[in-house]
Chain A
Amino acid sequence: MIDRRYCSRGLIPVLLLFLGACAPMIGPYSPTAYKNATGLKAETLALMDRATMPYSQSEAMIEELMVEIDKAYEYVHGMPSDDLSARQWALLRRPDGDLLGKFLDRWKTDGRLTPVYIGEFKGLVSDAFDEIICLEANKKAANLCLK
């Protein structure tokens, strides 16, 4: 039978070695990443409302927004152990993807979009931002934000 005290004494150094050797499982909470996500959510949804008007009238604003979204992606992409957040931003911004990229592509192709289409797609994009925000918030403290 194993001596419990021996077991405890042996376990702790092994545990410390194990804990010290492992890289972080997820990056630290970043106020900048959180601010980027919440701010860009509001800006993106406001811009989507303009899609009842011709794409050409909002082209400059769209380009500016996409630069900001690219910056937000690059920010988390450069953070250590933040692969999951970077993958979320990548899914959201991909030009040939099914979220913001799809909406902007339809707007560009069709010239303008219907209020019903805009309303429904805003729901999808809003939820996508909420996923990014939820993950970032949970790096700081457990937060019941999952739908």
Chain B
Amino acid sequence: MATFDDYLDELQQGAKKLAAGLVDGLQADALSDMNAFLKRSERDLARWTKQLAEGEITTQDFDDFVQGKKALAEMHKLTKAGLAAAKLERFRADLISLVINAAVKVYL
């Protein structure tokens, strides 16, 4: 009986083969993306592969879930970019306040 670890091994080996077709600079990025995806999806993948093995879901369902998880990863990237932008925006606002408050403190 196949285990989830077997599945992960298969994924890792397949990803390495796919990445081998990329130019050197992109290989590390591709494998890093794959590992990040697996890390975020491991619990879901474990549950979905179990459901697939037990016939609770179809291959099409499994495909839908994985594609959905990929779309979610894109949304997560946008959130992270937004959080970084919001942080910089707050820093900028604080900096302006600092410039004004320092002037008041020093000169008045």
A positions within 8 Å CB-CB of B: 12, 15-16, 19, 22, 24-26, 84-85, 87-88, 91-92, 97-99, 102-103, 106, 114, 116-117, 120-121, 123-124, 127-128, 131-132, 134-135, 138-139, 142, 146
Contacts and interface: CB of A to CB of B under 8 A. Distances in A.
A88 B79 CA distance: 8
What 7 A-B pairs have minimum CB-CB distances, sorted nearest first? A98-B71, A26-B85, A98-B67, A25-B85, A124-B68, A135-B82, A84-B82
A121 B64 contact: yes
B22 to A, nearest CB: 24
A123 B47 CA distance: 13
Contacts of B86: 25-26, 135, 138-139, 142
B79 A116 contact: no
A146 B78 CA distance: 12
Interface of B: 44, 47-48, 51, 56-57, 61, 64-65, 67-72, 74-76, 78-83, 85-90, 92, 95-96, 99
A135 B83 contact: yes
Contacts, number: 101
A116 B51 contact: yes
- Grouping DSSP codes into helix (H, G, I), strand (E, B) and loop, the A interface class, with mixed when no group exceeds half, is helix
A135 B78 contact: yes
A95 to B, nearest CB: 13
Given A116-B56, A142-B87, A26 B82 contact: yes
A24 B76 contact: no
Given A106-B64, A120-B48, A120-B65, A146 B71 contact: no
A135 B76 CA distance: 10
